[in-house]
């Protein structure tokens, strides 16, 4: 079995109905990949700690959340073939 993981970052900021726009963008991605033989499995989320520029050294991880760092969420779509 083969897997494919793709970023999924929908832009719904301009949409009147943000839920519908998110669904439309996900549906488009799923259909595009299905046309290439990929089966949609799920959306996965990961949180990444991004250190603040002044805290980017090796000791930045010793303080809570990297000492002024931000936590950024990334979503990916998982497919299998």
Q: 70: Cβ–Cβ under 8 A, 6 or more apart, which residues?
A: 49, 50, 52
pLDDT digits (tens, 9 = 90+) for 40-77: 999 999 998 887 776 555 655 555 554 678 889 999 99
Neighbours of 79 (CB within 10 A): 20
Residue 57: predicted pLDDT: 57
Question: DSSP state, 40?
Answer: E
Whether the per-residue pLDDT at 39 is higher than 90: the answer is: yes
Q: 49: Cβ–Cβ under 8 A, 6 or more apart, which residues?
A: 61, 65, 66, 69, 70, 71
pLDDT digits (tens, 9 = 90+) for 3-30: 999 999 999 888 899 999 999 999 999 9
């Amino acid at each position: 079995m083969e897997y494919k993981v793709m970023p999924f970052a929908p832009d719904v900021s301009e949409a009147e109905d943000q839920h519908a726009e998110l669904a439309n963008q996900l549906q488009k991605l799923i259909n595009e990949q299905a046309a290439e033989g990929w089966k949609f499995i799920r959306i996965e989320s990961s949180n990444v700690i991004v250190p603040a520029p002044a805290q980017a050294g090796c000791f930045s991880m010793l303080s809570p959340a990297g000492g002024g760092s931000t936590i950024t969420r990334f979503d990916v779509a998982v497919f299998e073939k």
